[in-house]
């Protein structure tokens, strides 16, 4: 097994290319606000240093695979990213997130359930590590969250990755 999936310090889970390609075909993404020079999925992207949380996403169609940790001294954490995606979508844009399926959290109930389309992914994703698809699946389930221009929805689907 890849040790990286089980290390407590793991925060960045690279989006599997086949999953991104399928979503990009549907949505036509123009911005990846949680990227670096080696793992960005869109021509326009923000690095940690550029701080996608502090940037305006107006007029973009956004794909967001944020850091998965809770807030730390060096990281705003997943909750800040979910709030940012929700807020930006209120301005009329579409934001698609790939995040762990943590349906027991306050974050899920306050910012996702009833406010976004939810697509639960069957099975566990093999994320990219260093640009290569991991041979072992993640130790957690994942979901796609689609905020469509601030329009509330109760749509829940199950998809294959």
The DSSP 8-state label assigned to residue 27 in this structure reads: H
pLDDT tier for residue 4 given thresholds of 50, 70 and 90 = very low
Number of domains in the chain: 1
In a domain, 16, yes or no: no
Rounded-to-integer distance, Cα 116 and Cα 62, Å: 14
In a domain, 156, yes or no: yes
In a domain, 40, yes or no: yes
Question: Smallest Cα–Cα separation from 134: which of 123, 124, 120?
Answer: 124
Pair 160, 124: CB distance under 8 Å: no
Please write the tens of the pLDDT for every residue from 100-132.
Answer: 999 999 999 999 999 999 999 998 888 777 677
> What's this model's pTM, rounded to 2 decimal places?
0.86
Tokens coding 31: 């911005």
pLDDT of 45 over the 80 cut: yes
> Cβ contacts of residue 32 below 8 Å, gap of 6+?
40, 41, 42, 44, 45, 46, 62, 63, 64, 65
Residue-number span of the structural domain to which 71 is assigned = 35-160
pLDDT of 3 over the 60 cut: no
Please write the tens of the pLDDT for every residue from 51-88.
Answer: 999 999 999 999 999 987 666 544 568 899 999 999 99
For residue 69, the domain's CATH number is 3.40.50
Tokens coding 47: 């690095």
Q: Which of the residue ranges 31-40, 114-123, 146-155 would you say has the lowest mean pLDDT? A: 146-155
In a domain, 24, yes or no: no
Rounded-to-integer distance, Cα 81 and Cα 142, Å: 16
In a domain, 125, yes or no: yes
Tokens coding 5: 């999936």
> Cβ contacts of residue 78 below 8 Å, gap of 6+?
66, 67, 68, 69, 70, 99, 100, 107
Q: Which of the residue ranges 40-54, 78-92, 106-120, 141-155 would you say has the lowest mean pLDDT? A: 141-155
Rounded-to-integer distance, Cα 112 and Cα 114, Å: 6
In a domain, 85, yes or no: yes
């Amino acid at each position: 097994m890849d040790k990286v999936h089980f290390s407590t310090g793991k925060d960045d889970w690279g989006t599997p290319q086949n999953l991104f390609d399928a979503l990009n075909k549907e949505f036509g993404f123009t911005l990846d606000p949680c990227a670096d020079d080696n793992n960005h999925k869109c021509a326009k992207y923000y690095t940690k240093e550029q701080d996608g949380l502090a940037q305006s996403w107006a007029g973009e169609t956004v794909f967001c695979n944020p850091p998965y940790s809770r807030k730390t001294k060096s990281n705003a954490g997943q909750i800040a990213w979910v709030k940012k995606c929700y807020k930006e979508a209120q301005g009329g844009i579409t934001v698609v997130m790939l995040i762990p399926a943590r349906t027991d959290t306050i974050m899920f109930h306050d910012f996702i359930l009833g406010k976004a389309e939810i697509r639960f992914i069957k099975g566990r994703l093999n994320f990219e590590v260093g640009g290569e698809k991991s041979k072992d699946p993640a130790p957690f389930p994942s979901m796609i969250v689609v905020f469509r221009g601030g329009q509330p929805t109760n749509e829940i689907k199950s998809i294959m990755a």
